[in-house]
Amino acid sequence: MEENNINIIVKFITESIPITTSHDSTVQQLKTILLPLTSVLPVDQKLIFKGRILENEKSLRESEINNGAKIMLVGTQVSATEAIEKLFADETASRMEESNINITVTQSIPITISHDSTVQSLKTILLPLTSVLPVDQKLIFKGSIWLKYQNPCRLLEDDESLRQSGINNGAKIMLVGTKGFYPGEGLQAELHQRRRKSKLKKAVPEQWKATNIVALAECNLKDIPDEVWPCAPFIRVLDISHNPIQHVPDRIDCLTRLRKLYLNGNGLPDESISWQGITSLKRLQVLSLSWNWLVV
């Protein structure tokens, strides 16, 4: 593969960007490589070589681009919606190849992708699904191959393939955005924490009994509060979504009048949920389980 590689220079505004890529790569693939380097979406890129605009579907070889070639990049103005739709369509087509694997990103984003795709390609696929630019994405993988190190979690390198990164079929990867995709540090996190404490303070048992609703979403709970269980005969709605809840106990079956149960956004694995307790809730009409680590 190295013998087929060529080195080119892409000129963008005042920068000269060196690129090493396959001679048989398409112009569209070159644009994808340029996305994190220029923050210009592929659909907004015009690549000009010797006075002509390069066509997306043609390879660099077909476009007569050889080793040492210099290409001009000009950004155009296209709506963000069009850009994302076009990028998603192009990436969906490019993923339909042999040696595919199925992985899950963050908590419930299923991805089918070639085992030999790079981490950078995976980030490009995630753009329309998360609205987080590849340059702002951090992908973290925890696999048995890394357990011999002190820190079992590893930040994936853009230029490595999924195969090289030890990512196989069924792997789970965590996505963290560097620009507030999750509540971050500093003032934003402090305000978020104050809001959680305020909710807990107001959610007294007397209120739960009067309204038949226990609303404890985003309260930084690791367990369902003990105060909930004495109110069990009154509760019809239990919302403990978006907490780091560690388990749903067997005693959930005492909520005999429960109609709606929201457990989404807790990162719960299958084994930490009392399925027997949940299935015994005969009046349950709504069960929300998205954004958890459940085996499908």
Q: Any idea what the CATH number is for the domain that residue 240 is in? A: 3.80.10.10
Q: Is there a single domain that holds both residue 218 and residue 266? A: yes
Is there a single domain that holds both residue 10 and residue 33?
A: yes
Q: How many structural domains compose the chain?
A: 3
> For residues 104 and 182, what is the distance between their CA atoms, to the nearest angstrom?
18
Q: Is 122 within a domain?
A: yes
Specify whether 133 is located in the same domain as 209: no
pLDDT in the model for residue 76 = 64
Position 295 in a domain: no
> For residue 251, what pLDDT is reported?
95
CATH code: domain of residue 101: 3.10.20.90
Residue 36 belongs to a domain = yes
| Domain final residue pick, 12, 44, 75 | 75
Is 294 inside any structural domain?
A: no
The predicted pLDDT at position 89 comes to: 53
Q: 10 Å Cβ neighbour count for 98?
A: 7
Last residue of a domain, one of 33, 52, 75: 75
Q: Please check whether residue 243 is in contact with residue 266, taking contact to mean a CB–CB distance below 8 angstroms.
A: yes
| Residue in this structure with the two tokens 């067997």, named with its chain if needed | 250
Give the domain extent around 61.
Answer: 2-75
The answer as to whether 215 is a domain residue is: yes
Q: Domain ends where: 21, 54, 75?
A: 75
Separation of alpha carbons 112 and 95, rounded Å: 7
Sign of CA dihedral 126, 129, 132, 138: negative
Q: What is the mean pLDDT of each run of 10 residues along the chain (296 residues)?
A: 79 86 92 86 87 91 92 67 49 54 77 87 80 80 50 78 88 74 40 49 69 82 91 92 90 94 88 92 91 77
Residue 14 and residue 84 in one domain: no
Same domain, 91 and 154: yes
**Is position 45 within any domain?**
yes
The Cα–Cα gap between 163 and 113 comes to 11
180 φ, ψ (degrees, to nearest 5) = 85, 25
Alpha carbon separation from 156 to 139, 176, 196, 247 (Å, rounded): 6, 12, 32, 29
> Is 95 in the same domain as 111?
yes
Q: Are residues 33 and 6 in the same domain?
A: yes
Say yes or no: 169 and 192 in one domain.
no
Does residue 182 lie within any of the structural domains? no
Residues 71 and 85 in one domain: no
- Same domain, yes or no: 145 and 226: no
Q: Looking at the structure, do residues 17 and 59 belong to the same domain, yes or no?
A: yes
Does 216 lie in the same domain as 282? yes
The answer to whether residue 10 is domain-embedded is: yes
